[in-house]
Amino acid sequence: MTQSQAIRKQLIVFDFDWSLTDQDTDRYVLEVNAPDLRRKMKDLGSEVQWTDLVTQSLEELHKRGVTREQIEHSLKIMPFHPAMIRVVSAVKAAESPITSFICLSNANSVFIETILKDKGLESLFDEIITNPAEWDPSGLLKLRRRIDPNGPQHNCEVGCNANMCKGAELTSFLKRSDQTSFDRVIYVGDGSNDYCPVLRLRSQDIVLCRRYRGLEQKIIKQGGLKCQVIYWAGAWEVEEILNKL
């Protein structure tokens, strides 16, 4: 790419589930520890707000005696491609361009940090923007929505689900970090909730869109993107793409 000479400073934004990783944390933890709750989650998915549903499932796991160690173990064995570890480590270590990483995820801080630490990536991200969670002393993982359900909600008109508008989160990150300082933004995502932030990218920015999932469908059906789109299916292709950019 000839434009790469002009890129001194770039931002790479990663969605977490099915983007940095090869699975979905909320679902996988239940698939490993309580498949009946995984089924219940699928059945109730359209009625109960997603983060509330995960919160309830974690409470039920705790009631059944599933321990913190068991939950952490399931996160550590969750599929995570070695090519992804290689490429983000290499891009972060490179002197040119200088790359900052942030994570935008509707999972939660504990799931994400547990996995990053296990993969030696705990210092990858400057910011992890997600739902807050913490272990209480009894081993219950207490999870809360990022946006307090009793306070003002986001006012996204693109169609983001309740609790998180990743577009608004990206805009607010760029504002507080001085938007003009990034010559290029690269967004790696797969889900329909990655569409809103991707719509806000500029012509010099790039989305790395995972194939066969919600984001690809939205891009095809609704379009409207100003940024360049590069499709991928396996993490080894993200490695190839980022090494060339």
The set of catalytic residues is 15, 17
| Nearer to Mg ion among residue 194 and residue 239 (C-beta) | 194
Contacts 24+ apart (CB under 8 A), 212-221: 213/18, 214/190, 215/189, 215/190, 215/191, 216/190, 217/192, 218/192, 219/195
Q: Which of residues 15, 72, 216, 239 is near Mg ion by CB under 5 A?
A: 15
Q: Are 66 and 38 in contact (CB under 8 A)?
A: no
Comparing CA positions, the residue from 145, 200, 149 lying closest to residue 171 is: 200
Nearer to Zn ion, 115 or 185 (CB): 185
Dist. CA 201–CA 10, nearest whole Å: 13
Least distance to Zn ion, CB of residue 135, Å: 30
> Looking at beta carbons only, is 84 or 160 nearer to Zn ion?
160
Q: Binding mask 176-215 vs Zn ion (x if CB under 5 A, - otherwise)? A: --------------------x-------------------
**What are the φ/ψ torsions at residue 142 (nearest 5 degrees)?**
-90, 120
Q: Any known ligand binding at 178? A: no
**CA angle, residues 96, 190, 195, in degrees to nearest 5:** 90
Residue 165 as a binder of Zn ion (CB under 5 A): the answer is: yes
160 binds, among Mg ion, Zn ion, none (CB under 5 to 8 A by kind): Zn ion
Q: Is 26 annotated as a binding residue?
A: no
What does 158 interact with, of Zn ion, Mg ion, none (CB < 5 to 8 A by kind)? Answer: Zn ion
Binding to Mg ion in span 190-219, by CB under 5 A:
190-191
Q: Is 143 in the site for Zn ion (CB under 5 A)?
A: no
| Residue 17 interacts with Mg ion (CB under 5 A): yes or no | yes
User: Between vectors from CA 19 to CA 13 and to CA 25, what angle results, nearest 5°?
Assistant: 115
Q: Are 141 and 71 in contact (CB under 8 A)?
A: yes
15 is in an annotated binding site: yes
Alpha-carbon distance of 44 to 150, in angstroms, equals: 22
Three-state DSSP state, 209: strand
Contact residues toward Mg ion (CB under 5 A) are 15, 17-19, 190-191
Residues annotated within the binding site for Mg(2+) are 15, 17, 190
Contact residues toward Zn ion (CB under 5 A) are 156, 158, 160, 165, 167, 196
